[in-house]
Every structure is written in structure tokens, then in C-alpha cells.
């Protein structure tokens, strides 16, 4: 296992800044995700780590070794692409063995390591099949085995599950985590799928315009986003604008068009004062629909729309002030809440995040 350190990395294409001075450390054995909207720089950063793109400035270190200008084939990383990049004219075993053949590994060693790699992805019984005979999920496993067989110092994954259906994606993201942990690999995984990142990552980085917007474990990034960009990208949320009334011990009271709210200031570097503008971020599942009014963090209104999704019911809550809140009810009852009576949407202060505008 190795640590991967990125120090003040800069990469531009013409006048466009793809990576704008990123510094980051991925710990040994960590499954680290890079997320962000299209064009944020996550793929460029991964390609720089792999050696396919050379940065303009900064350094990339594998452990204590500076690999910034080392060719890709000398970095000993395993790369898994979105397209899988498997050879259709070769068998499963031949595809997995390809990297070892290129390295001139002895045949007996190749056979042994290919068998081990196929066993690790639970595909050992398909060694003689052609790629065209495999399902999408099976091809994904073979691509992963090919990346593992060379015993890489790090595993790099570029949206590897995007071509699979929803059920296979859920199955394979669990498998990828299992294999990475059992193999003791340091892995960097690029995706736009928030569920993948939240479910299997150790930590994640959200990128915005080539810079780091936030780095942290899944729960802290989801529950304590540092900005509107992060809150909006990871999961769903309700944004409510307001003005800060007072601040005490990491909490702020904010006056909004929907009433007075108290919430947590998630950005430790922000020191807001009374009169300053702020935005509240409140996740849909944090609300409770009740029949009584609380002193604060409580909004009167009526149910304006309902969508039953099995484990979740989604309500459109029309507030008395004319706004609309999205509210999730987990494990909903069979009977719907009536749409012709008054309710109150209430939320705990710890579930209200106060963000800088």
C-alpha cells in the first residue's frame, strides 16, 4: 500500500484551467472518490496521476517517489476505463494476461496470477470464453481482473460502472470495495454517481472549476456541506435564503421568508455576523410533517403533491408564504396524508446547515 500525494498541481489547456493548484493526500489503502460536475477537472486529475497527462506545475508522489514526469507504463498503476477496453478477439484469460505478457513475465507465473485474479473477481470458470459471450457485468469484472493482475501500486478507476444497469451497478460497487480492501490497494475512483461515492468511499473530494470545494468522509460531506455547490451536488436539498440574526457556539439564527430557523455553521472558516446574508440547506428527509407548530424551524403549509416510491414518499409541501419544499418520508404509511388540511414542516437545528451566500 502506498500514499499518493498531490502538491499544488496545475494543468491548463490553452486558456482554460483544468486543475487550479490542487493539493491532496490519499492515504495508503484508501478508497478515494473524485466527484463534481462535468468539466470540473476530476478526469484530468486522474489522468495526471495515471501519467496520461503531464501537469504544468506541481508534483505527484507515490509514497516518497516523485512520479510527476514518469511515463504511464513505468508507474505500475492499474487503470480501469469506462469502456473496459477489452480485446474482443482474445479469450477472458488472454485479456487478463495481456499486461503480464507485455512485461515478459514467465508463462507459469502468468498462468498462476491470471487464475488468482479471475478468482478474486469470481470469474475463474469463464477463463476460456470470448469477450462477446459475456454480459456487461462480467466484462466489468474481467476489466477489473486485468487491472489487478499486474499487482499495481494503485488502482485508478474512471467511471467504471456507468455502462451497467442500476441493479448491476449496486452489485459491482460493493464488489469493487471488497476487492480493493482484500487486495490492500490504494484506489482513486472518478464518478458522477453520488450513490456510488456515498456507499463505498472512505473519503471523497468534490471539485469545482478545477479546485477542491470540499474533502471529507461521506457522512460529513453529505450532512455538513461547506458550500451551496457541494450541498446541491451531493444529494437533494432545499435552499432557503435569509439574514443572520445572531451567532453562538457554532450555530446561527436566520430570519427567512418562511420564519426563523436555527442551524449549524458548517464552514469552520466562516465567521458570520448579524445582518449578513446566508442560505440554509435542509435535506428533504430531515423534515417532519406534524400537526403542531414549534417555536422555530417550523413552517405552516399544506400537501400539494405526492409521489410514492416504495421505501420513500416524496411530498411537495406548499408553504403558507407561497414557497414549495421537497420533503421525503421514509417507510411511508399506506394511506396518504390529506391535502385539504394544515400541517407544519419541522426540522431539528442539527439538520439545518447555514451556508455563506
Indicate if 11 and 126 belong to the same structural domain: yes
* pLDDT: which is higher, 166 or 301: 301
Q: What are phi and psi of 162, to 5 degrees?
A: -65, -20
Q: State pTM to two decimals.
A: 0.88
Tell me what pLDDT residue 334 has. Answer: 67
> What's the confidence (pLDDT) of residue 332?
84
> How high is the pLDDT of residue 318?
95
pLDDT tens by residue, 115-126: 988 988 888 888
Query: Domain ends where: 228, 260, 278?
Result: 228
- Residue that is last in its domain, among 228, 246, 274: 228
Q: Are residues 260 and 152 in the same domain?
A: no
CATH number at 152 reads 3.40.50.300
Q: Residue 252 belongs to a domain with what CATH number?
A: 2.40.50.140
Write the pLDDT tens digit of every residue in 155-179: 999 988 877 778 878 888 888 898 8
Residue 45 near residue 29 (C-beta atoms within 8 A): no
Higher pLDDT, 331 or 82: 331
Q: What is the DSSP string of 94-120?
A: HHHHHHHHHTT--HHHHHHHHHHHHHH
User: What's the rounded Cα separation, in Å, for the pair 350 and 345?
Assistant: 15
Which of 182, 210, 228 marks a domain boundary? 228
Q: What percent of the chain has pLDDT over 90?
A: 62
Give pLDDT tens digits for 45-80.
999 999 999 999 999 999 999 999 999 989 989 888
List the domain range (segments joined by +) for residue 243. 236-356
Same domain (yes/no): 30, 118: yes
HSE-up (13 A, CA, CB side) for residue 103: 16
How far apart are the C-alpha atoms of 88 and 84, rounded to whole Å?
11
**pLDDT band of 83, cuts 50, 70, 90:** confident
From 314, 323, 348, 304, select the one nearest 241 (Cα to Cα): 323
Q: Are residues 78 and 152 in the same domain?
A: yes
Same domain, 252 and 277: yes
Amino acid at each position: 500500500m502506498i500514499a499518493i500525494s498531490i502538491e499544488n498541481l496545475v494543468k491548463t489547456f490553452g486558456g482554460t484551467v483544468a486543475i487550479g493548484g490542487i493539493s491532496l493526500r490519499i492515504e495508503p489503502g484508501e478508497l478515494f472518490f473524485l466527484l463534481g460536475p462535468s468539466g470540473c477537472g476530476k478526469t484530468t486529475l486522474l489522468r495526471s496521476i495515471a501519467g496520461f497527462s503531464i501537469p504544468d506545475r506541481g508534483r505527484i508522489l507515490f509514497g516518497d517517489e516523485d512520479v510527476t514526469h514518469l511515463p504511464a507504463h513505468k508507474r505500475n498503476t492499474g487503470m480501469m476505463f469506462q469502456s473496459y477496453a477489452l480485446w474482443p478477439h482474445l479469450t477472458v484469460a488472454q485479456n487478463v494476461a495481456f499486461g503480464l505478457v507485455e512485461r515478459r513475465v514467465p508463462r507459469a507465473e502468468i498462468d498462476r496470477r491470471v487464475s488468482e485474479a479471475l478468482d478474486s473477481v469470481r470469474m475463474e470458470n469463464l477463463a476460456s470464453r470470448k469477450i462477446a459471450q459475456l454480459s456487461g457485468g462480467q466484462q466489468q469484472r474481467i476489466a477489473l481482473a486485468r487491472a489487478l493482475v499486474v499487482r499495481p501500486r494503485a488502482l485508478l478507476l474512471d467511471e467504471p460502472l456507468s455502462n451497467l444497469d442500476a441493479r448491476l451497478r449496486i452489485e459491482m460497487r460493493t464488489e469493487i470495495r471488497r476487492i480493493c480492501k482484500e487486495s490492500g490497494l490504494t484506489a482513486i475512483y472518478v464518478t458522477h454517481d453520488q450513490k456510488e461515492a456515498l456507499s463505498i468511499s472512505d473519503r471523497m473530494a468534490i471539485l469545482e472549476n478545477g479546485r477542491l470545494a470540499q474533502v471529507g468522509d461521506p457522512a460529513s460531506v453529505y450532512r455538513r456541506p461547506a458550500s451551496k455547490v457541494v450541498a446541491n451536488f451531493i444529494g437533494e436539498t432545499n435552499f432557503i435564503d435569509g439574514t443572520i440574526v445572531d451567532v453562538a457556539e457554532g450555530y446561527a439564527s436566520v430570519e427567512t421568508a418562511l420564519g426563523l430557523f436555527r442551524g449549524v455553521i458548517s464552514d469552520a472558516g466562516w465567521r458570520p455576523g448579524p445582518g449578513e446574508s446566508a442560505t440554509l440547506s435542509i435535506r428533504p428527509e430531515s423534515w417532519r410533517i406534524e400537526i403542531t407548530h414549534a417555536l422555530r424551524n417550523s413552517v405552516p403549509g399544506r400537501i400539494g403533491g405526492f409521489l410514492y416510491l416504495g421505501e420513500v414518499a416524496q411530498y411537495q409541501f406548499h408553504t403558507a408564504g407561497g414557497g414549495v419544499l421537497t420533503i421525503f418520508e421514509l417507510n411511508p404509511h399506506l394511506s396518504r396524508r390529506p391535502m385539504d388540511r394544515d400541517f407544519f414542516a419541522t426540522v431539528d437545528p442539527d439538520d439545518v446547515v447555514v451556508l455563506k451566500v
